[in-house]
Amino acid sequence: MAVAVVNSALSLYDTEYAVTANAATSSVIDEVEVFTVTPTKAGHKVSILMTNAAGHGAYTWSIPVGALWAGDTLTALTGSIAAGATEVIQVASGKHLSAAGTYAITLTPASGKRLLTDHAAVMEVLETV
């Protein structure tokens, strides 16, 4: 399954912004889901917040190496979101942006769990423009 993420653009200092919550859609046990983030312009800072509900263990996430780096040995970003936690990562655009200009973030539920109903996985993307 796939989720096209709606970014929350932050363009002015000292200004309050609404943040769009992009929820997982998969209610299938052990099914991974890819969230596609499309920055509005190259070079913008992108921070990704991921939330996990309490009581069902951690889910994992990964962001592959982008197509724009040559010669360096880079690895995918990986991590996990503990039950009951919200965590954030600021992504290095040059390292992880695909040739299509997107980030593909794969979420994998804990064994025997579902991203939508057990983890209530939510992703929020803040783009500083």
Of the two residues 74 and 53, the one the predictor is more confident about is 53
Is the alpha carbon torsion for 104, 88, 110, 84 positive or negative?
A: negative
pTM for the full predicted model: 0.92
What is the total count of domains within the chain?
1
Structural tokens at position 121: 């996985």
Residue 105 pLDDT > 90? yes
Residues 84 and 45: their CA atoms lie apart, in Å, by: 26
Structural tokens at position 89: 């990562």
Q: What is the CATH number of the domain that holds 113?
A: 2.60.120.380
Contact assessment for residue 78 and residue 33, using Cβ atoms and an 8 Å cutoff: no
Express each pLDDT in 9-56 by its tens digit.
999 999 999 999 999 999 999 999 999 999 998 788 999 999 999 999
Query: Can you give the residue range of the structural domain that contains 103?
Result: 2-69+76-128
Residue 93 pLDDT > 80? no
Of the two residues 115 and 71, the one the predictor is more confident about is 115
